[in-house]
Amino acid sequence: MPESALGYLLKKLREQRGLSLRELARIAEVDHAYIYRLETGDKGEPSADILNKLTRSLKPAKRESDMLQFLAQSGGTSPELVELTLQDPTISFNVFTGVAGLAFRGKRPNYAELIARVRRWEDDEADG
């Protein structure tokens, strides 16, 4: 798994479209080596222009597009959280960012529990 959540998401979106690195690079007009470095976590925080080119070329759904924007601006999110979110379409962007924004100390977080907790908070706010 790539070291960065942004890299993991980029790679998954590229693979979903059935594109190689070079094909995405050609479509997006971005150097394939740069995309590779983003995917592996060797490069972070792409410029807004590069991110927009990649997003337009990958044509992700709104939630995944919002996730790309979020991850490009804020480090520290786990690729595991991105993977879980991609696997579960019921996890909203707001829940994703809520869980990503929580600080962790010590042991590895249980993302399923955290997602349930953030969903309860959202429900409590809506009710009250």
Scanning the structure block, which residue is given the tokens 């809506």? 126
Q: Please enumerate in sequence order all residues whose Cβ is within 8 A of that of 66, keeping only pairs 6 or more positions apart, or say none.
A: 93
Q: What distance in Å separates the CA atoms of residue 35 and residue 30, rounded to the nearest whole number?
A: 7
pLDDT, tens digit (0-9, with 9 covering 90-100), for 21-60: 999 999 999 999 999 999 998 887 899 999 999 999 999 9
The CATH architecture that domain 5-127 belongs to is Orthogonal Bundle (1.10)
Is residue 93 within 8 Å of residue 119, measured between CB atoms?
A: no
Domain ranges of the chain: 5-127
pLDDT, tens digit (0-9, with 9 covering 90-100), for 59-94: 999 999 999 999 999 878 899 999 999 999 999 999
